[in-house]
Copies of this chain bind each other. A is one copy, B any other.
Amino acid sequence: MNGVNDFAFKIGTVNGTGSASANGLLMRSIFRMGIPVTGKNLFPSNIQGLPTWYEIRVNADGHLARAAEIDMAVALNPATYAKDVAEIRPDGYLLYDSSWPLPQALNREDITILGVPFGRLCVEAFTGDRERTLLRNIVYTGALAALIGIDMEVIDSLLNETFGKKPKLLDANHKAIRIGYDAAVELLDCPLPFRLEPMDATSDSILIDGNTAAALGALYAGATVGAWYPITPSTSLMEAFTAFCHKYRVDEETGERKFAILQAEDELAAAGITIGAGWAGARAFTNTSGPGISLMQEFLGLAYYADIPSVFFNIQRCGPSTGMPTRTQQPDILSMAYASHGDTKHPILFPADPGEAFEMAVQAFDLADQLQTPIFVASDLDIGMNDWMVKRLTWDDSYTPNRGKVLTAEDLEKIERFSRYRDVDGDGVAARTLPGVGGKGAYFVRGSGHDQHADYTEDSAAYCELVDRLRRKFSHAATLVPEPLVLTQEGAEIGLVTIGGCDLAVREAQALLREQGILVDVMRIKAFPFQEEVKEFIESHETSYVIEQNRDGQLRSLLMIELGIPKDSMIPILDYGGMPLTARVVVEAVAGAPAGVPA
C-alpha cells in the first residue's frame, strides 16, 4: 500500500454525531473519480455517544478486502486516541483536530502528525451546537479532500445532488467543505504521498450494501410475503425490501399493495409466518441473525420434514449468544446446516459480496420451490451492512420463477390419487398442491410421522421411507446449487478453500503470495451441499487451507462430515475477532507454515 490509489485510512468519531453521511460522501467521491474503493463501518451496539470508526480503502487493482494496514488515522474521538494512533503503520500519518494542543495520547514518534483546527473553524463559521457538530464532519471531509486529492468538483456535485432542494443546507455544506479544504491546503503539505488520481475503473460498478442487494433479489424473484423481527445486522434487509415494495408494488390508483410484510412479535413467529405463507404458495422469506437462527430451529425442522419451501436470510454476526451484534463473523454454519433436532440437513447459499447477495436471493427462491425445503442465504454483517463496490446489477427479463412441482386442478384430474410425498421422479421431490386447489388435491401436512400419502404413521418402514427420500432430496440439491468458484494457477500445490465474505481477502492473498513466489489455487465454495468437485479440489492439492471466520472451523467440519475429507488434510485459518478478514492473515498463515499452523 501507500502510494497513488493504493492506501487506507480510518476515521474515529463518536456515534450519533453525524459522521456517517460524511464518510459516505468521502467514499462516493472516490468512487466517482473512477477509483476502486471500499468502506468498513465499525460501530458500537448502542445509539449515541460511543466510539465508532470508518475505514476507507482505495486500491487501483481492485483489492478491496479490508486493509491490513492503516496509512492514516483521522482521530476525532478523545476516548479512542490511544487505540487510533496505535493502529497507524510506521511512517504513516495522523490527522487530528488542532483546535487544542496535541493530546499526549496522540503523540507518536514514527508518524507524521497533521493538525487542522476543525472545531475552531466550525465555531468561527457556524452558529449553534447542532450545526457546528454536524458540519465539523464536512469540514474534515474537506481537509481530507485536499490531503488525498479528491476532486472538489465531484464533491460539489454530490452535495448538489443531495441538498439540491434545500438551498440553505446546500450552502452550509459547500461552505464547510471549502473551509476544510482551504485550511488543509494552507496548513499542510497537500496532497500526501499517497493520494488519488482519477481512473476509469468504476463505470460498470456500483456501491451497494448486501442487505439492499438481497432485498432487490427478493423483489425481483417475486417474493410477496416477508416476515421478520428487528435484529442487527439483518434489519436493513427487510427495511430495504419494504421501501422497494412501496416503490414498485403499490397500485398507483387504488393504493393496493402486492406484498405483505409482517413485523412479527419475535423470530419464532417470523419463521412461522414464512412457513405458513410458503405452504400456501407464496414466495416467502424472513431475515434474521444469530439469536434468531436459534429461535427458528423448531420451525426449520418442521419445514424440512414436511417439505415446505421457504427462504431464510441469515446476516451473520459475532456469536455466541448476543455476542457482538455489530461485529462480523461466519459462526452459524453448523447451526444452519443441521438446524433443528432430529436428522435434518438444509441447503445454504454463501454470497461473497452484495452482487452475489442479489443473485443468490433469486436463486434461493427458485431452489426453495424446486426442493420444497428451507433455503438459507448466509450473508454476514460485513457484506450486509457495508457498501461494497460490485458490478452493476442487471436483470434478464426472460426469467420466470421456477416454482418446482406444483399440481394444478387440471393436473389432478389426470391422476388417480394424489400422494403428497410420493417420489415419482426419484429425485426426492414429490409434487405438491396449494391450499385452494379443488379436487383430489387436499392433504394434511404435519410435523409428526407421515407416510407418502401424508397420512399419519408410527410405522417404522413408512417413516424410514420418508426420511430416506429427504436424504435423497438433499443429494439432489447438490446438483442444483451453484458450483464453487475455482481460481487456479499453473503449478500451484497449495489450495485455499474459503467461503462467503472471505473471498476478496483470499484472492488478494493469492496475488500477494504469488509475489512471494508461493503459488496457490483458490476455491470459494458457494453452497451447501457440496459437490464432488469440492473434494477433488482439496484432494488434488498437497496442502489445503480452509479459511473462515469462526473459532471452530465449522466449514472444515462440514467438509469432513459431508465429503469425508480427512481433518488433517485441511489446515484451518480461523479469524474470528469480529473484523472483516484481511489478506495479511491468510498470507502470514500460508507463508509462515508449517510453524504458523494453528492447532
**Contact string against B for A residues 306-324, beta-carbon threshold 8 Å, 1 for contact and 0 otherwise:** 1000000000001111111
> Which of B295, B302, B560, B561 interacts with A298 by CB under 8 Å?
B295
A9 on the interface (CB 8 Å rule)? Answer: no
A568 touches which of B306, B325, B557, B564 (Cβ 8 Å)? B564
Point out the residues of chain B lying under 8 angstroms from A468, CB to CB.
551
Contact indicator per residue, chain A 501-540, by CB within 8 Å of chain B (1) or not (0): 0000000000000000000000000000000000000000
Interchain CA distance A491-B458 in the complex, whole Å: 42
- Say yes or no: is A334 at the interface (Cβ < 8 Å to chain B): yes
By the criterion CB–CB under 8 Å, are B448 and A550 in contact? no
Q: Which residues of B contact A461 (CB under 8 A)?
A: 577
User: A340 touches which one: B320, B324, B344, B564 (CB < 8 A)?
Assistant: B320
**Which of A458, A566, A578 gathers the greatest number of chain B CB atoms within 10 Å?**
A458
Across the interface, which residues of B come within 8 angstroms of A319, CB to CB? 301, 305, 340-344
Pick the most buried of A322, A329, A342, A468: most chain B CB atoms within 10 A of its CB: A342
Choice from B304, B324, B342, B343 contacting A458 with Cβ under 8 Å: B324
Q: Is the Cβ of A458 less than 8 Å from the Cβ of B578? A: yes
CB distance from A564 to the nearest CB of B (A): 3
Interface size class of A (residues with CB under 8 A): 35 or more
Distance between A450 CB and nearest chain B CB, rounded to angstroms: 10
Residue ID in chain B nearest A325 by CB atoms: B448
Task: Pick from A276-284, A286-294, A430-438, A586-594 the stretch touching chain B.
Answer: A286-294
- Is A391 interfacial (CB 8 A cutoff)? no
Residue of B nearest to A447 (CB): B321
A473 within 8 A of B: no
Distance of A329 Cα from B449 Cα, bound (Å): 13
| B324 pairs with A301, CB closer than 8 A | no
The CA-CA distance from A298 to B294 in the complex, in Å, is: 5
Query: Is A259 an interface residue when CB atoms closer than 8 A count as contact?
Result: no
Cα–Cα distance between A45 and B304 once the two chains are bound (Å): 21
Asked if B44 and A458 make an inter-chain contact with CB atoms under 8 angstroms apart, the answer reads yes
Q: How far is the CB of A321 from chain B (nearest CB, A)?
A: 3
- Within 8 Å by CB of A320, from B335, B341, B564, lies B341
Check A323–B45 contact: CB distance below 8 A. no
Task: List which A429-460 residues lie within 8 A (CB) of chain B.
Answer: 446-449, 458, 460
Report which A residues bind B (CB closer than 8 A): 44-45, 290-291, 293-295, 297-298, 301-302, 304-306, 318-327, 329, 331-332, 334-335, 338, 340-345, 446-449, 458, 460-461, 463-464, 467-468, 471, 550-552, 554, 557, 560-561, 564, 566-568, 576-579
**Closest 5 A/B residue pairs (Cβ):** A319-B342, A320-B342, A460-B577, A321-B447, A564-B567
For the A-B complex with A320-B344, A322-B448 known, give 14 more contacts whose Cβ atoms are closer than 8 Å: A290-B342, A291-B301, A297-B297, A305-B321, A318-B342, A319-B342, A321-B340, A323-B449, A327-B460, A332-B341, A334-B334, A343-B550, A471-B552, A561-B561
Contact sample, A vs B, 9 pairs, CB 8 Å cutoff: A298-B321, A305-B320, A322-B448, A323-B448, A332-B341, A335-B340, A561-B561, A561-B567, A564-B568
